[in-house]
Amino acid sequence: MAKPKTRRHQERRGGIIRTALILAAIVLFIYLFFVGRAVFNYFA
Amino acid sequence: MANATTAHHDDHHDHHPTGLARWLFSTNHKELGTLYLIFSLAMFLVGGAMALVIRAELFAPGLQLVNPEFFNQMTTMHALVMIFGAVMPAFVGLANWMVPLMIGAPDMALPRMNNWSFWILPFAFTLLLSTLFMPSGGPSAGWTLYPPLSLQGGNSLAFVILAIHLMGISSIMGAINIIATILNMRAPGMTLLRMPLFVWTWLITAFLLIAVMPVLAGAVTMLLTDRFFGTSFFNAAGGGDPVLYQHIFWFFGHPEVYILILPAFGIVSEIIPTFARKPLFGYTSMVYATASIAFLSFIVWAHHMFTVGMPLGAMLFFMYATMVIAVPTGVKIFNWIATMWRGSMTFETPMLFALGFVVLFTIGGLSGLMLAIVPANFQYHDTYFVVAHFHYVLVTGAVYAIMAAVYYWLPKWTGHMYDEKLGKIHFWWSTIWVNVLFFPQHYLGLAGMPRRIPDYAVQFAEFNMISSIGGFMYGFGQLLFAYIIWKCVRGGEKATAQVWEGARGLEWTVPSPAPLHTFDTPPLVDDKVAVHADRLT
């Protein structure tokens, strides 16, 4: 049986995941901004 | 009640794997911090060996030891290994160990991702170093990988680019983890403006990493498609522009410089108050200065490429913006000096390295100001003056701060005091020889010796010989550093929880060595515990 997380961790899990996802989205956006735009211009 | 529940639920942590599995599958911030630091030390020695190849070849004019192609591979690899393999993982290792301890968190926010962030690195660097044994050899166009030169090498470029992508992924995941930890896992009462400066500088550094590592990834992806898939992003013959690469690269590259130095500022801001036995002078201004430096780092990138030709207005903008960075940096140096002012100072090894940092990093900062002046830059560009400048910033800056941090926190990690006498010998040996190594390079550059060349005109012989002697003495002196760490891990005088008389902060409230799990029950933080609170006595 999976061990339950601590209460503090449970309370903060939403915040942690939300922070991580927002940051990952920023990374992806910047990468695509540079590469995607260049590729678009290249083929345009 | 919540605390009792916490303790009960965390009991399963006691069944800890041993042997190789302990390190392979660890999700513990302290174990991963240790892995990062060991990896960094190994890369420091590998990159250092490459530097010694460079200095041995430059000991005298003429070609003696290696052929020019291999020399270029050494300069390129030395930089890549030292930046991405030694300095950055060292700071990430220190963050892993200390950030949760400093903010009262039980671990990093995303422990499994933490494991992945680390274990990518050995594969990335095996891949990178393996290119040296490929038929076309390793990368030889410099760590900046400027096209068209970087596109004229062999197929090993594909492996180099994959390795850089892996390092980038590792750094991005590490940065996400650090931000998520700091924003979500602080103990009750640990408000943002009560956080230790090391935590603050790392928070800002992590945002820089998030912003610029994808830019580097974009640049090298386009390099890859230019080399292997027939695109012409950077090929003038195909309608592309090689200068575009330089702009994109330095849009990453300049904030990268601050990624390498901001955590060092944080470390020095921890150590100086401890050994001056005074709270840090101007805590809030330190935070704002760090944020200002981070912001300015995004608008100065073209000062690396004044000589490619750009409009006068652009040159003036980048020159003045670069000079403005001296203001928040000056605030920091002023605050460190003001912290020491009338303090009860003692000079244990961490303090010696921190003071060495303040003095020698400032030399690197001042030569940076000289380089920012456009007309002067035309003379200095691509000379040994630039090499001297960034080695003062990165060796006597970043590396000195890492060494200071290791001496400062080693008793907390191992439970033993290191050999103070050997530590002081290490400091003085390093400080004398690092200056013999790098200071003459200013003169070489002012006299016009270009960087990245295996041979040079005879008028540069004496200073090169002096520099090489300094290099070998400094380099072999670092074996003493490895010995001191090994000796401290093996045993020595027992360290107390506080370790240093003037130390303040949560990390000094846990026993030495720090137990595998700390702060399962969150501590309550008030002004007495907060490291830099003004009311601290």
pLDDT in tens, B62-83: 999 999 999 999 999 999 999 9
pLDDT, residue B526, reads 75
Using the predicted structure, report yes or no on whether residue B398 has a pLDDT greater than 60. yes
pLDDT, residue B275, reads 97
Q: How far is A9 from chain B (nearest CA, A)?
A: 8
**Token pair 């026993």 in the structure block, residue:** B511
Query: Among partner residues A3, A16, A27, which is closest to B172 by beta-carbon distance?
Result: A27
Least confident stretch, A11-20, B225-234, B432-441, B454-463: A11-20
A37 at interface of B, judged by CB pairs closer than 8 A: no
Q: What's B85's DSSP letter? A: I
Q: Judge: B9–A8 Cβ closer than 8 Å, yes or no.
A: no
| pLDDT above 70 coverage of chain B, percent | 95
pLDDT, residue B534, reads 44
Determine the residue of chain A that is closest to B251 in CA distance.
A34
Using the predicted structure, report yes or no on whether residue B12 has a pLDDT greater than 80. no
Dist CA B429 CA B483 (whole Å): 15
Report the Cα B92 to chain-centroid distance in Å: 9
Using the predicted structure, report yes or no on whether residue B536 has a pLDDT greater than 50. no
φ/ψ (deg, to 5) at B330:
-65, -35
A21 at interface of B, judged by CB pairs closer than 8 A: no
**Token pair 């970043």 in the structure block, residue:** B398
Instruction: List the end-to-end C-alpha distance of chain B, in Å, as a whole number.
Output: 33
* Beta bridge mates, B416: B494
Query: Among partner residues B10, B184, B217, which is closest to A16 by beta-carbon distance?
Result: B184
- Enumerate residues 6+ apart whose C-beta is below 8 A from B476: none
Q: Which residues of B131-161 are buried (b: 16+ CB within 10 A; e: fewer)?
A: beeeeebbbbbbbbbbbeebbebeebbebbb
Determine the residue of chain A that is closest to B225 in CA distance.
A39
B3 at interface of A, judged by CB pairs closer than 8 A: no
Q: Which of B338, B363, B360 is nearest to B269 (CA)?
A: B338
pLDDT, residue B395, reads 97
pLDDT, residue B457, reads 96
Q: How far is B92 from chain A (nearest CA, A)?
A: 17
Q: Judge: A6–B222 Cβ closer than 8 Å, yes or no.
A: no
CB < 8 Å to B2, chain A:
7-8
Mean pLDDT of B368-383: 96
B222 at interface of A, judged by CB pairs closer than 8 A: yes
B316 at interface of A, judged by CB pairs closer than 8 A: no
- For chain A, helix, strand, coil in percent to 5 are 85, 0, 15
Dist CA A25 CA B470 (whole Å): 47
Report which of residues B521 and B496 the model is more confident about.
B496
Query: Among partner residues B6, B184, B222, which is closest to A38 by beta-carbon distance?
Result: B222
Mean pLDDT of B450-456: 96
A15 at interface of B, judged by CB pairs closer than 8 A: yes
Q: What is the pLDDT of residues B403-444, one digit of tens each?
A: 999 999 999 999 999 999 999 999 999 999 999 999 999 999
In total, the C-beta contacts within 8 angstroms joining chain A to chain B are 78
- Catalytic positions of B, please? 78, 107, 143, 170-171, 254, 256, 258, 269, 303-304, 329, 332, 451
Q: How far is A39 from chain B (nearest CA, A)?
A: 9
The average confidence (pLDDT) of chain B is 93
Using the predicted structure, report yes or no on whether residue B159 has a pLDDT greater than 60. yes
CB < 8 Å to B221, chain A:
35
Report the Cα B125 to chain-centroid distance in Å: 17
Using the predicted structure, report yes or no on whether residue B7 has a pLDDT greater than 50. no
Dist CA B58 CA B49 (whole Å): 14
Dist CA B369 CA A33 (whole Å): 32
Q: Judge: B211–A35 Cβ closer than 8 Å, yes or no.
A: no
ipTM comes to 0.82
Regions of chain A short of the pLDDT cut 70: 1-11, 37-39, 41-44
Mean pLDDT of B334-350: 96
pLDDT, residue B19, reads 83
Do B161 and B96 contact (CB within 8 A), yes or no?
no
Report the Cα B90 to chain-centroid distance in Å: 7
Query: Among partner residues B2, B176, B231, which is closest to A20 by beta-carbon distance?
Result: B176
Q: How far is A1 from chain B (nearest CA, A)?
A: 12
Q: Prior bond to B513 cis, omega within 30?
A: yes
CB < 8 Å to B113, chain A:
20
Q: Which of B425, B416, B273 is nearest to B349 (CA)?
A: B425
Q: What is the pLDDT of residues B278-336, one digit of tens each?
A: 999 999 999 999 999 999 999 999 999 999 999 999 999 999 999 999 999 999 999 99
Using the predicted structure, report yes or no on whether residue B99 has a pLDDT greater than 70. yes
Q: What is the pLDDT of residues B361-371, one digit of tens each?
A: 999 999 999 99
